Chains A and B, each alone.
Chain A
């Protein structure tokens, strides 16, 4: 890394560590308003579009804050490189975010999920996509790996699994995602692994999909390690074809069915009340047999800035069961309460769903465009009790 460049990993570490810096975002005002760099702490940011520097640098530069290191940011890192070079010519300390917002949007940060010493025969990694609040998982046991809900940056998962001396044998999408372009089918094909995603009536999936094994569980068997059970539990609600993955009887990869301080919105298929009632029955009946201590590992954070660089995003089933809406007496009252809570739908969700049901390759630029902006897959029952202050 040259003196004038900073990569996403280093920038997020600096933000999380509370280092003094000022983001000088040189995108246009609309793009800046729609989506900006978060992190555990909200960094100080200033928006001055690059085209204003082109025309009136002499007027702008003297007005910039001095004495704080600047990091310039734009969509792909080109305009911000121009601006940071210009600032350095004026004697201002400035570094350019290499790859810009596109690199930030693609950044994946793996965090190990704690498992008791007795369970060290396998590892669960939560792979956090900080910019979007998307959480995917890599489960490794005795040289075999399962990847759950991967983003489209498939090489990152391949490198991570290879570094753990394992081979990807199975890829699972807990459901047909509406907020991000899935890497599931692609990752499976590239690694000759099986690919599983649920299939519901009227929701066909293009391409090859593995059937659920007899007994409802996948088993990871490799080398001398004892077989590891991945029990698939149908979880209609957020979407009708959804499945949660129960790892070793205790860690529940819950997709968007259960989130930290919330549940997944059931309204992205034009059946908000029907799916909402399904969601209530899934949580209160289909998952009723699981103990309160079950560790819930969701596919999303409710709000992206909650994602820290080091902490696992998790809750317990007992916590989820305490959400106010889940104490409502019937599926119908629950569905109506949730329908009243959901915010605007993710911007390009309809296109993303179509692509994820028929996983044809699409240009990365188009995927970048679809995935712009913050994640909006959560209905937030917790929000009524504890309103967000942001």
Chain B
């Protein structure tokens, strides 16, 4: 089991979910992926996507600030078997 970080700051939909999906495809069951996004729309999108996805579960979402003061939305996903 591993935890990796996917940095999609500065991108807008659909990029955060498209890239998260590509990253999750390469992970093993139980691996954790933290997606760091600046697009506020990603919060509701990740919720909606994870609700029906066969690829991952959404374990947590939190809001942070990065070094530049930008708001970062962190989505914590676990690869499904």
Q: Which residues in A have some Cβ–Cβ distance to B below 8 Å?
A: 27-31, 49-52, 54-56, 74-76, 78-79, 82, 365, 369
Contact = CB atoms under 8 A, between A and B. Distances in A.
Contact of B17 (A27, A54, A369): A54
Contacts of B52: 52, 55-56
Contact of A78 (B13, B40, B48, B53): B13
Given A52-B52, A55-B49, A82 B14 contact: yes
Contacts of A49: 45, 48-49
A49 B49 CA distance: 8
Interface of A is mostly: helix
22 contacts: A28-B41, A28-B44, A28-B48, A31-B44, A49-B45, A51-B14, A51-B45, A51-B48, A51-B49, A51-B53, A54-B17, A55-B53, A74-B13, A75-B12, A75-B41, A76-B12, A78-B12, A78-B14, A78-B15, A79-B13, A82-B14, A369-B40
A51 B44 contact: no
The 9 closest A-B pairs by CB, nearest first: A51-B49, A79-B14, A28-B48, A28-B44, A79-B13, A51-B17, A30-B44, A82-B14, A49-B48
Contacts of B48: 28-30, 49, 51
Contacts of A56: 52
Contacts of A28: 41, 44-45, 47-48
Interface in B51-71: 52-55
Contacts of B44: 28, 30-31
Contacts of A54: 14, 17-18, 21, 49
A46 to B, nearest CB: 16
Q: Is the interface of B mostly helix, strand, loop or mixed?
A: helix
Task: Pick the most buried of B13, B21, B49: most chain A CB atoms within 10 A of its CB.
Answer: B13
Contacts of A31: 41, 44
Contact of A50 (B13, B40, B55): B13
A78 B17 CA distance: 12
Nearest to A369: B40
A318 to B, nearest CB: 47
A74 B49 CA distance: 15
A31 B45 CA distance: 10
Among A28, A29, A56, A74, chain B packs the most CB atoms within 10 A around the CB of A28
Highest count of chain B CB atoms <10 Å: which of A56, A76, A78: A78
A56 B41 CA distance: 21
A28 B48 CA distance: 7
A34 to B, nearest CB: 10
A50 B54 contact: no
B70 to A, nearest CB: 11
A50 B13 CA distance: 9
Contacts of B14: 50-51, 54, 78-79, 82
Nearest to A77: B12
Candidate in B17, B18, B48, B55 with the most chain A CB atoms within 10 angstroms? B48
Contacts of A55: 21, 49, 52-55
A79 B11 CA distance: 12
Interface in B1-48: 12-15, 17-18, 21, 40-41, 44-45, 47-48
B20 to A, nearest CB: 10
Contacts of B55: 55
